[in-house]
C-alpha cells in the first residue's frame, strides 16, 4: 500500500513537540487502513480501545493492558478486533487474536508499510495493536 500521508518527515519526529502532528498522521493512517480492510471479502474489524485518558495514568496507575508511556496515552494507538469468514450465514465471522494468522499478518504488515513510524503489535505478542512509535515506544 502506498502511503499517502507524507507530510510528517520521519527524520524530524523524535520530539514531543511533534506529538500533535503524529496524532494527525495516526488518524489519517487509521482511516486509510480501515478503507483497505473494507476491500477484503469476509473480513471485518471492530474498533476497540484507543486513547486512554491522561487521568487514567496521572497517579502512575497503568493497570490496563497498555504499555506505560505507550501510544494509547498519546492518542497514537488503537486496538482493533479482527473477524474473518464473515458471511451472510455467519455475519459475525470468527474472531482472530493470533498475530500468526495469515489475515493478521497481511493487515499488520500493511499497517507497517504505510509509514516508517507505524508499529504493529504482532511483533510483540499484541496483534490487535496498531500505533505510531514515539520516543522509542509503540
113 to 4, 29, 60, 119: CA distances (angstroms): 11, 11, 34, 9
Grid coordinates belonging to 61: 496507575
Grid coordinates belonging to 121: 503489535
Asked if 119 touches Zn ion (CB under 5 A), the answer is: no
How many angstroms separate the CA atoms of 18 and 93, rounded?
39
- Which region, judged by CB under 5 A, interacts with Zn ion, from 52-60, 73-81, 91-99, 101-109? 73-81
Question: Measured over all CA atoms, what is the biggest interatomic distance in the chain, rounded to whole angstroms?
Answer: 50
C-beta closer to Zn ion: residue 8 or 127: 127
- Which region, judged by CB under 5 A, interacts with Zn ion, from 12-20, 25-33, 50-58, 79-87? 79-87
Least CB distance to Zn ion at residue 79 (A): 4
Asked if 133 touches Zn ion (CB under 5 A), the answer is: no
- Which region, judged by CB under 5 A, interacts with Zn ion, from 14-22, 100-108, 109-117, 124-132? 124-132
52 Cβ contact list (under 8 Å, min separation 6): 64, 66, 72, 73
Question: Pseudo-torsion of CA 30, 90, 101, 26, nearest 10°?
Answer: 10
Applying CB under 5 A, among 22, 74, 115, 129 the residue interacting with Zn ion is 129
C-beta closer to Zn ion: residue 61 or 88: 61
Asked if 79 touches Zn ion (CB under 5 A), the answer is: yes
Which residues of the shown chain bind Zn ion in the complex (CB under 5 A)? 79, 129
Amino acid at each position: 500500500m502506498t502511503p499517502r500521508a507524507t507530510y510528517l518527515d520521519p527524520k524530524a519526529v523524535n520530539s514531543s513537540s511533534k506529538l500533535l502532528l503524529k496524532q494527525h498522521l495516526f488518524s489519517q493512517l487509521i482511516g486509510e487502513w480501515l478503507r483497505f480492510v473494507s476491500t477484503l471479502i469476509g473480513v471485518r474489524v471492530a474498533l476497540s480501545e484507543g486513547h486512554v485518558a491522561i487521568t487514567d495514568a496521572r497517579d502512575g496507575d497503568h493497570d490496563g493492558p497498555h504499555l506505560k508511556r505507550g501510544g494509547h496515552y498519546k492518542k497514537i494507538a488503537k486496538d482493533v478486533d479482527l473477524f474473518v469468514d464473515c458471511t451472510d450465514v455467519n455475519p459475525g465471522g470468527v474472531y482472530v487474536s493470533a498475530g500468526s494468522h495469515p489475515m493478521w499478518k497481511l493487515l499488520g504488515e500493511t499497517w507497517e508499510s504505510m509509514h516508517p513510524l507505524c508499529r504493529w503489535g504482532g511483533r510483540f505478542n499484541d496483534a490487535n495493536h496498531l500505533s505510531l512509535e514515539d520516543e522509542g515506544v509503540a
